[in-house]
Structure 1
Amino acid sequence: MRSFCTMGSCGLGASGLGVPSRVVTRRGYLRRPGDNGSVTTPSPTPTAGGRWLVGAAIVLLAVNLRVAVGSVGVVLEQVRDDLGMTATVAGVLTTLPVICFAAFGVGSAGSVRRLGLHRSAALVLVLLTIGLVLRSVVHDETVFLLCSVVALAGAAVGNVILPPLVKAHFPDRIALMSSLYGAALMGGAAAASVGTVPLADAFGGWRPGIGLWAVLTGVALVPWLLMLRRDVHTAPVDEERLPMRAVARSPLAWAMLLVFAAQSAAAYAQFGWFPEMLGDAGVSSGYAGALLGLLSAVGIPLTLGLPWLIARVGDRPHLSWGFATLTAAGWLGVLLAPSTLPWLWAILLGLGGGAFTWTLTMIARRTRTTAGTATLSVTTQGLGYLLAGIGPFGVGALHDVTGSWDAPIIALMLLTVVIAVAGTVVARPVMLEDTLVRPVRD
């Protein structure tokens, strides 16, 4: 007889309460749920002081993941002059973050599984420190790019281990911790953008301006070194491993990937082109730069308030619809009246950017195990950043072809439809592991 076995939907478990005694995935491995139908992954049970330590370590890790990106753009002109960097090489440099986040994000799953989450976090900060220091002292543009790749490779791995770290250590505080590290990501990017020039002025040039951020990464490394003996592995038991090819068959994984890719494409387009869009409309360069800072800063309080919003909304898709609507309204303002109320358009776009942290939060909320969270994080962020690279490149290409910002802005508005529709799927109370079952024969 042919039957379909899913979590809580077929057969009676040992207790006779409708909980399945087994679930066979597409890979054919076995999962044994607990009394509540969920699958648990062994994780450390630290004391209250230990939870404070790991919580602070996660936030410090997140603060450092955008430093390598935010510190270069504001001194790019000086870097180009000193290293003799051509415009083409500078273009490669500005595209490196998205490329590295995609390539190293996808490729990190096996390494994280072997090393463990704590060792991976320590490695992330070591790579960041080495990359930041070396690129501040080199005198060749090619070596500068290679050193940037080292730092960005560390940041890419850091991106994908944040959700499973929260899942492993704070399964009861996923929304809170996700909002804290999301705000830390934004805060780190803003701090690097704002602080690099004053550091360069105070210490004699762009080299110390970008190199001194390695002090912050070194400080963040200390708590992870203290936790190496109590590491967490994303798949401590063979049958709990979720390969990417299995997750790639899940509609939930594809919806998550599309939301993340659409939001990230719009975000990197904002970082690269928003000031120029306003500048072409008559807004001064200084004011346009300040508005970009406002756009980034607006997202911090929204991110911190995300746990409350998620608790109020529950499993309804209102948040994804709201983020999509706010972003579309912001771009509509830029399209129709870019110089009239540019501060309002910046605020609307910044609020719409809350889709980023919401998606990262949902990665942990829509998985039962740390292994599932890790694989879904790699799939969503690794492939999502690869697709997101189309955003800033496509905006520039459309502007070159049409000679106007109208077509690029309309294209960015259309991306909000993807966020709304795919976000509706993500909001449904369906766990990733429940979408990976296959037919079994009795």
Structure 2
Amino acid sequence: MDTSDSGTAPRANAPEPESGPREAGTGPEPAPRRGWRRWAMDTRPLARPAYRRLWVSTIVTAVGSQLTAVAVPKQIYDITGSSAWVGAAGLAGLVPLVVFALWGGAVADTMDRRKLLLITNTGIAVTSLLFFVQAATGLASVAVLMVLLALQQAFWGLNSPARSASIARLVPADELPAANALGSTVMQTGQVVGPLLAGVLIPVIGLPELYLIDAVALCVTVWAVYRLPALLPLSGAGKRRAGLREVVAGFRYIAGHTVLLLSFLADIVAMVLGMPRALFPQLAAETYAGWGEGFALGLLYAAIPIGAVAGGLFSGVFSRVRRHGWMVIGAVVAWGAAVAGFGLSGNLWVAAVFLAVAGVADMVSMVFRGSILLSAATDEMRGRMQGVFTVVVAGGPRLADALHGTAGSAFGPRGAVAGGGLLVVVVMLALALAVPALRRYRV
């Protein structure tokens, strides 16, 4: 392992102050940004070699992972001709993701996070290679695809908490919002570029090669993680075993820290009550059919990620704000208001603008909720906090699909969307007023 950058993170046996890693925060303060640079993305974390390697690897894999995310349902549909099987594949991936994200958070708090990232990224790469093998050999087995998908999501569940928790060891606390904005922008860009690229490549090279591209891209991630400094537990946590007791302890920790609990509740409120994607097909077919159903559907799905990417590119506007709690409250309220505006819009382009504004708000919320989890929790709990975060992010939109689908049938799609957005605003403001911990939180 290359240890030339080990100064970017604390030594494994050194105490870490709660404000962030000591080594990452040393050095002269950067000159204040002037002119247009005040608005542009805050790139300070990229000056730290270890974080830069992790971030560059994310650029490659953000697109590669989306290739597989498109290829798997496409292959299942080609085999079965049934959308029901495609939906079942989503469930097959969700269950192991939830289980292993919770356990993976506990594991990340008891062992070298770099080592865990090496193991899990290698596992994900091998799974992508197995996807390639089954497609190239013409196996055409839905059961094999389901098993591979479950295995891939299990590795991802173990990987995600360790990856997110490591950021607080690679950058100082005041750069956490900027680091989260950089990472979130890359992931959102991948969600836009990856599916478009897959749509272009499938007719040209076929599904097997899509899986192979993802496997090769993951090798870049493995190499980047290999060159990270060791990220051993800062306390005696390495002597514990990551079992059910540690997972339960993580939930108790959340319950005992109001600001952490509210950060999770804020995301649940926004996603469960206000994520309208389940109604996009009906809206495209009925409300916006005049623009072409296919075009309308594609624009609706792309609008939120496009807004999130724009929010990331101009994250310099908010990344230095210290009142993280107020930023979360404001972002969730803005999300709800934008979703309500979308529900009331009869014009496709106005609707897309509202969804893009919601995407910007979602980016701001992600940045500051992630920063709160990393700064308000101690290092020995960060993995478990990120494990719960992964479950909330993965599970919230799926619950929203069921809720909005039902509400859309009962009240009509536009009424369900607008009502959900207004509920987000009301519930979030009520939480903020009733419990002051989030309002008062700052770094």
Specify the TM-score bucket, using the shorter chain as the normaliser: 0.7 to 0.9
Question: Normalization by structure 2: what TM-score?
Answer: 0.75
SS at match of 1:231: coil
CA displacement at 1:41 relative to structure 2: 8.4
Q: In structure 1, what is the equivalent of residue 207 of structure 2?
A: 206
Q: In structure 2, what is the equivalent of residue 370 of structure 1?
A: 379
Q: In structure 2, what is the equivalent of residue 131 of structure 1?
A: 127
Aligned partners of 2:349 and 2:123: how far apart in 1? 44
Q: In structure 2, what is the equivalent of residue 222 of structure 1?
A: 223
Name structure 1 gaps, 5 residues minimum.
Answer: 1-32, 432-442
Aligned partners of 2:220 and 2:426: how far apart in 1? 41
Could you tell me the percent identity over the aligned residues? 10
Q: Label 1:382 to 1:330 Cα distance change in 2 as closer, same or farther (>3 A).
A: closer
Alignment match of 1:262 (pick from 269, 278, 286): 269
CA displacement at 1:287 relative to structure 2: 3.7
Q: Note if contact 1:196-1:210 (Cα within 8 Å) is conserved in structure 2.
A: no
Q: Greater helix percent: which structure?
A: 2
Q: In structure 2, what is the equivalent of residue 233 of structure 1?
A: 232
Alignment match of 2:195 (pick from 165, 168, 193): 193
Q: Note if contact 2:324-2:372 (Cα within 8 Å) is conserved in structure 1.
A: no
CA displacement at 1:39 relative to structure 2: 4.6
Please list, as runs of the form range in 1=range in 2, the aligned pairs for 1:11-410 lying within 5 A after superposition: 39=18, 52-63=48-59, 70-71=66-67, 74=70, 78-84=74-80, 86-96=82-92, 98-138=94-134, 139-172=140-173, 173-203=175-205, 205-227=206-228, 230-234=229-233, 236-238=235-237, 243-250=249-256, 251-265=258-272, 269-270=276-277, 272-281=278-287, 282=289, 283-284=291-292, 285-306=294-315, 308-312=317-321, 314-315=323-324, 317-339=326-348, 341-354=350-363, 355-367=365-377, 369-383=378-392, 385-401=394-410, 404-410=413-419
Aligned partners of 1:314 and 1:393: how far apart in 2? 34
Q: Label 1:239 to 1:54 Cα distance change in 2 as closer, same or farther (>3 A).
A: closer
Q: Partner letter of residue 360 of structure 1? A: G
Root mean square deviation, CA, Å: 3.7
Query: How big is each residue's C-alpha offset from its partner over 1:292-314, in whole Å with a ceiling of 9 and x where there is no partner?
Result: 22321221231344454143463
SS at match of 1:232: coil
Please list, as runs of the form range in 1=range in 2, the aligned pairs for 1:431-442 lying within 5 A after superposition: none
Q: Choose 341-350 or 231-240, whichever is displaced more.
A: 231-240
Aligned partners of 1:91 and 1:41: how far apart in 2? 42
Query: How big is each residue's C-alpha offset from its partner over 1:295-342, in whole Å with a ceiling of 9 and x where there is no partner?
Result: 212212313444541434635615522442244233333334253623
Q: Partner letter of residue 186 of structure 2? A: A
SS at match of 1:107: helix
Q: Label 1:77 to 1:51 Cα distance change in 2 as closer, same or farther (>3 A).
A: closer
Q: Note if contact 2:105-2:384 (Cα within 8 Å) is conserved in structure 1.
A: yes
Q: Note if contact 1:363-1:377 (Cα within 8 Å) is conserved in structure 2.
A: yes
SS at match of 1:337: coil
Q: Label 1:259 to 1:50 Cα distance change in 2 as closer, same or farther (>3 A).
A: closer
Q: Label 1:67 to 1:93 Cα distance change in 2 as closer, same or farther (>3 A).
A: farther
Aligned partners of 1:46 and 1:318: how far apart in 2? 24
CA displacement at 1:358 relative to structure 2: 2.4
Name structure 2 gaps, 5 residues minimum.
Answer: 1-14, 28-44, 135-139, 241-245
CA displacement at 1:421 relative to structure 2: 5.0
Query: How big is each residue's C-alpha offset from its partner over 1:33-74, in whole Å with a ceiling of 9 and x where there is no partner?
Result: 99xxx5588888799999744212321454467657733565
CA displacement at 1:145 relative to structure 2: 1.5
Question: Normalization by structure 1: what TM-score?
Answer: 0.75
CA displacement at 1:196 relative to structure 2: 0.9
Q: Choose 231-240 or 188-197, whichever is displaced more.
A: 231-240
CA displacement at 1:78 relative to structure 2: 4.1
Q: Note if contact 1:125-1:221 (Cα within 8 Å) is conserved in structure 2.
A: yes
CA displacement at 1:181 relative to structure 2: 0.9
Q: Note if contact 2:189-2:309 (Cα within 8 Å) is conserved in structure 1.
A: yes
Q: Note if contact 1:262-1:418 (Cα within 8 Å) is conserved in structure 2.
A: yes
Q: Note if contact 1:68-1:152 (Cα within 8 Å) is conserved in structure 2.
A: no
Aligned partners of 2:431 and 2:239: how far apart in 1? 27
Q: Note if contact 1:328-1:413 (Cα within 8 Å) is conserved in structure 2.
A: yes
CA displacement at 1:108 relative to structure 2: 0.8
